[in-house]
Amino acid sequence: MSDAYQNGTLAMPKHIVVDAREYTTSTGRYMFRLLQYLEKLDHGHDYTILLKPHDMDIYEFSNPRFKKVVCPHKEFTFDEQLGFLRQIQGLKPDLVHFGKDHQPILYRGKVATTMHDLTTARFRNPAKSWLFYAAKQPVYRMLIRIVAHKSKAVLTPTNFVKEDIVRYAHARPEKITVTYEAADAITDAAEPLKELVGKRFIMYIGRPQPHKNLGRLIEAFKLLKQSHPALCLVLAGKKDVLYERYAEQVAREGIEGVVFTGFISEGPLRWLYENCQAYVFPSLSEGFGLPGLEAMQHGAPVVSSNATCLPEVYGDAAHYFNPLDSQDMTAKIAEVLDNPELRNQLVEKGRAQAAKYSWQRMAEQTLAVYKKVLGES
């Protein structure tokens, strides 16, 4: 401790704890980019970053005020409610930022919470047992309401999510701040997928959960094959039980041209974006819709569901369809495939739309929220 702090001539820096246990999950890019820019922006607060044991060596902070601490407490467990609570209390923070809404509900210090969406409260994962979800969802719904009320500040990635939380949890809108996310340009060199070179294809990348609506996308593709027999559909994402079920459906119905890539690295993904005829996003529920924005950044025309936040994020840079109507989805994809002028317009507008978003601005807005909660602004 410096002499100035010891003599009381300067105020001690405030201590901010960030729950980054989601660092390497599907929502981890948000936390990674937030911390990456926060350490460049903020030299006035002390930070403790809580990471799972296997994530401790992934990233090294250059800002000496940022310290990593291992956090072994798993999400959605009694240990999170008790052991994690004790760990946070022992750190004596002035503010805790939880990167998701699961957190110790008995913690009574100042809290900022990022609430990405309410999808888990509304959709069931069929890969898990019905009994598991029947027990889990009511608890999770209650947690959402508790967290929305007890947090001093809530951060959301879109206005749609903000308004959804206000309606669902009856939270005060003035405590909720929208901090838009951003797409990252893939810097790895594009790597062609041999089985797709020279072929026309549309694509989707992501998880196959029910709200992603892949069943209707496959139905729409089946209809598209009637007018575009050589077209392929690429479904990219780590193979799991749900993807296996879709593969079985495709085989059972004899649908030709569906390619399941499994997990795909950055180079092949960049090639897919740059060479697809369209990126199709059929989702029923999103908090931000990052993959579509990433596709735009790499020059893919985006054909998107008009549900939830997607029109807010994509603006006029996507061609929209009703995600509950496979025939409408088919028609809108076909319009992009068959109309080069429309396709070129979407590519041009898409690049401009993606450029509107900034991770640095998101971090600046988040830091402003921290300061407000700490009474510094």
Domains 3-182+358-373 and 194-354 share a fold: yes
Q: What would the mean pLDDT of 212-216 be, rounded to a whole number?
A: 97
Per-residue burial over 85-120, b = 16 or more CB atoms within 10 Å of its CB, e = otherwise: bebbeeeebbbbbbbbbbbbeebeebbbbbbbbbbb
Phi, psi of 205 (to 5 degrees): -130, 140
Our CA angle for 175, 177, 182, nearest 5°, is: 165
- Region 223-243: mean pLDDT is 96
Average pLDDT over every residue of 242-257: 95
Q: What are the sequence ranges of the domains in the chain? A: 3-182+358-373, 194-354
Instruction: Report the largest interatomic distance among the alpha carbons of the chain, rounded to a whole angstrom.
Output: 80
pLDDT category at 133 given cuts 50, 70, 90 is low
To which H or E segment does residue 257 belong?
Answer: none
The sheet carrying 258-262 orders its strands as 258-262, 232-236, 201-205, 278-281, 302-305, 318-321
C-alpha dihedral (309, 315, 318, 323), degrees to nearest 10: 30
29 vs 368: CA distance, rounded Å = 20
Q: Which of 264, 284, 277 is nearest to 303 (CA)?
A: 277
Q: What is the pLDDT of residues 271-312, one digit of tens each?
A: 999 999 999 999 999 999 999 999 999 999 999 999 999 999
Answer whether residue 2 shows pLDDT above 60: no
Contacts 24+ apart (CB under 8 A), 64-71: 65/13, 65/39, 66/35, 66/38, 66/39, 71/19, 71/21
Of how many residues is the chain composed? 377
pLDDT of amino acid 28: 82
Mean pLDDT, rounded, of the chain? 93
DSSP conformation class of 151: -
d(CA 301, CA 113): 34
The residue-averaged pLDDT of 209-227 equals: 96
pLDDT of residue 1: 45
pLDDT, one tens digit per residue, over 15-49 is 999 999 987 766 788 999 999 999 999 999 999 99
Could you report the per-residue pLDDT of 81-132, keeping only the tens digit for each?
999 999 999 999 999 999 999 899 999 999 999 999 998 888 766 655 566 6
Residue with tokens 């750190």: 91
Closest CA to 309 of 207, 156, 203: 156
Residue 173 has pLDDT above 90, yes or no: yes
DSSP 3-state of 297: helix
- pLDDT the model gives residue 4: 43
For residue 133, the surrounding DSSP H or E stretch is helix 130-150
Q: Which residues does 40 contact at the CB level (< 8 Å), separation at least 6?
A: 63
Q: Which CATH number fits domain 194-354: 3.40.250.10, 3.40.50.2000, 3.30.465.10, 3.40.50.920?
A: 3.40.50.2000
Q: Class of the 3-182+358-373 domain?
A: alpha beta
For residue 137, is pLDDT > 80?
Answer: no
SS3 for 68?
A: strand
